[in-house]
Amino acid sequence: MTDTAEERAAQKPFGWRFTFPLLLGSTLNPINSSMIATGLVGIAADFHTGPGQTATLVSVLYLCSAVMQPTMGKLSTLFGPRRIFLIGVFILFVAGVVGAAAPTFGFLLLSRALIGVGTSAAYPTAMALVRRRADERGIGVPSRVLGNFSIASQITTVFGLPIGGVLAGSFGWRALFLVNVPLAIVTFVFAFWGVAKDPRSPGRRGGILAAIDLPGIALFGVAIVSLLLFLSDLTTPVWWLLAVSLVLIAALVLWERRTAQPLIDVRMLARNAPLQRTYLRQTLIGLGIYTALYGSSQWMEQSAGLSPLAVGLILLPLSGASIVLARLNSNRGWIRWPLIAGAVALVLTGGVILLITHSSGILVLALIAMSLMFGVTNGFSGFANQAALYLQAPAKEIAVAAGLYRTFAYIGAIFSSSLIGIVFGSTVTDAGFHRLGWVIIGIGAASALLTVLDRRIPVVAPAERAGR
């Protein structure tokens, strides 16, 4: 007799049958975010578009993801995280087919938007499923599982570009979309087989539309899109976008306070200062890491004259340190000290940048040291912030809270592109690189201060009380 998913869960709650599809699903957003870069030139040539138009294929996924991560979290609380996870994977399947067969550029935009929507379901629902299983089994924070999510995201972000290069180089840019079809099928089958069905949802007061909170979703979506568009180009800021965003955020808060089943429980969030600080730390760390990564990459190629291959090799210690430290940290369940160490490492990253010029005698060794430093930040902060979120968010709000966590990360990532443009100006020089170093020092110092002064961050996650 074949064991059911429920029977397997009772024997080993976080076995590979349960965690594999959740981990795979959670990697689909970052890997699609990065690998498209290798196909932009081919797409522009085939559809006779300029670089500005093809760049919208990158931005549309970020914008849809930033809005849809908490929205999918909300839907999972209403209809069940497993259902929404599977629906998201199906949307990804459709997106892959549309993109691979796209007859016009508009269909590619539609495909990328659908990829953003579909992959946004994975992380918040995965966090909800992990939390539900841990609570059912009386387990504390499943540190190793959370560490696996952090490591999987880091691996796919780093290897998205080479994977995309192989696919686009061997089969053409359409393969970057078509690859989502088998990935979606594998994820769907394993999730359907390995993740237990959602319990029957209780009756809802006021109807399904009121429970979904469509006005709240609309206000949140337009507010976040306006904010991200403003942050994406601060060299020539469009101030009315910021004004629109602030007005809509105020309207969102007022609406969510009065509605019975809000998208974002602003009352809970207002009372939950530790969770607010976790979101702020996530934004700062994301801003610091992406500023260091993309700013130093540009400087290495344009000022130091290094080849793309050399830049990639110099940045390899980043991914290695991130993965090793994330595993070490999740095995120990440390939270407070890794957050402090990650912020200090970001300060040291900026310090190394201040000592480098394009003619430095030990240029490559210094750049490798810099790469190691923000690899330390990435490895320590990824798991620790995620564990803090897990502890600080109420169980029933974990999916929406996890979605917002990703939204704040997108804010930091998009802000970094504008920050780099402001710091470097029209040309990439040593002076601009040193200004970038001071900016990174400031971001790291702010993150360190935010963490040191926050006495509500636990030193370690509560130990698990059952098998992992």
- pLDDT tens digits, residue range 277-321? 999 999 999 899 888 888 888 888 888 888 767 877 787 788 788
Q: Is the pLDDT of residue 251 over 90?
A: yes
Q: Using the predicted structure, report yes or no on whether residue 140 has a pLDDT greater than 70.
A: yes
CA distance 449 to 453: 6
DSSP alpha helix (H) spans, 172-272: 175-178, 180-194, 208-212, 214-231, 239-258, 266-271
Say what percent of the chain tops pLDDT 90: 52
Contact 401, 215 (CB under 8 A): no
**pLDDT reported for residue 358:** 83
Mean pLDDT of 125-131: 94
Domain ranges of the chain: 1-198, 214-260, 265-463
Average pLDDT, the chain: 88
- Which 8-state DSSP code applies to residue 39? G
CA distances from 223 to 230, 239, 247, 331 (A): 11, 14, 8, 39
Q: Are 311 and 300 in contact (CB under 8 A)?
A: yes
1-198 topology per CATH? Growth Hormone; Chain: A; (1.20.1250)
- Number of CB atoms found within 10 A of residue 206's CB: 10
- Confidence (pLDDT) at 465: 42
Q: Is the pLDDT of residue 160 over 60?
A: yes
- Distance (Å, rounded) from C-alpha 17 to C-alpha 196? 10
Q: Which of the two residues, 385 and 200, has the higher pLDDT score?
A: 385
Q: What is the pLDDT of residue 201?
A: 66
| Amino acid in position 362 | I
- Domain 265-463 - what CATH class? mainly alpha
To the nearest whole percent, how much of the chain has pLDDT over 70? 94
Report the phi/psi class of residue 449: left, alpha or beta, with left for phi > 0 and alpha for psi in -120 to 50.
alpha
Same topology between domain 1-198 and domain 265-463? yes
**Residues 105/47, Cβ–Cβ less than 8 Å:** yes
Smallest CA-to-CA distance from 189 within 10, 31, 25 is with 25
445-453: average pLDDT? 95
What DSSP designation does 461 have?
A: P
- For the segment 206-211, the average pLDDT, to the nearest whole number, is 73
Provide the sign of the torsion angle of the four alpha carbons 433, 439, 445, 448, taken in this order.
negative
